[in-house]
Amino acid sequence: MCGRYSLIVTDDLGARFRVHDPLIGLRSQFNVTPGREMPVVRDGAEVRMECMVWGLVPSWAKDPSVGRRLINARAETVAEKPAFRASFATRRCLVPASGFYEWRREKGEAIPFYYRLERGGHFAFAGLFDTWHDPAGGERRGYVILTTDANALVGRVHDRMPVILHREDEEAWMDGKSSAGLLERFFAPFPPEEMTGWRVSTKVNSPDNDSPDLIEPQETARRWW
């Protein structure tokens, strides 16, 4: 699964995702947790970036609290699950990120690891979104991150990982005309040789902590890799 990630905001964020009018006032977040509003890139008349809540509430849901549980969608079943199949068909998006965390259980303790691209920089998770309307006329737009089998690197810690799109596949992922067969090709685990990872501080276990030191390698990291 993917329950935490980071987004380091740099001047080239808009250009990286071909957004002409990126969101103003974004700040770097090193411990993104479910329920937080984060930038998402979606297609339409033009590619645009907007903030949505991490946690999808299907448009037909009676209770928005379901969004607290729907933060990930398994790629293998996303086309079949009632909560996701309509969004998979027509509401696919990019979730910009700089890295993500996974945990391994060691003697009852949750040990966090941080993963990013070997070359650094931003990348995109494959995401879906939906809009839920409340009885008073308000709306809540939320998203989920797709997951797939872990690659050889992440698999040392967890059996699942987020679907990371190759840059050349991002446009096709958002394109409403892309076939299901093409989309399923994007679900393959990202190549481990193009990623790196290390053990980080357990400070990240608390959603209250959000600082650059959360992604720094621990002194003992070398013994894990």
Dump pLDDT digits (tens) for 111-135.
Answer: 999 999 999 999 999 999 999 988 8
For 63-87, what is the mean pLDDT?
90
pLDDT at 164: 99
Residue 222 has pLDDT above 60, yes or no: no
Per cent of the chain over pLDDT 70 is 94
pLDDT at 137: 79
DSSP three-state, residue 162: strand
Residue 17 has pLDDT above 90, yes or no: yes
Active-site residues, by number, are 2, 102
Per cent of the chain over pLDDT 90 is 75
For 58-76, what is the mean pLDDT?
86
Q: What contacts 221, CB < 8 A, 6 or more positions away?
A: 198, 199, 200
Residue 225 has pLDDT above 60, yes or no: no
48 sits in which H/E element: strand 48-54
Dump pLDDT digits (tens) for 183-194.
Answer: 999 999 999 999
Residue 151 has pLDDT above 90, yes or no: yes
DSSP three-state, residue 141: strand
Nearest Cα neighbor of 69 from 124, 1, 141, 160 is 1
Place of tokens 């339409």: 44
- CB of 196 closer than 8 Å to CB of 225: no
List domains and CATH numbers for the chain. Answer: 5-224 (3.90.1680.10)
For 99-115, what is the mean pLDDT?
94
Q: Residue 220: which pLDDT band, with cuts at 50, 70 and 90?
A: low
Q: What are phi and psi of 90, to 5 degrees?
A: -135, -10
pLDDT at 221: 46
Q: How many angstroms separate the CA atoms of 83 and 57, rounded?
A: 8
Q: What contacts 195, CB < 8 A, 6 or more positions away?
A: 115, 116, 117, 118, 151, 153, 154
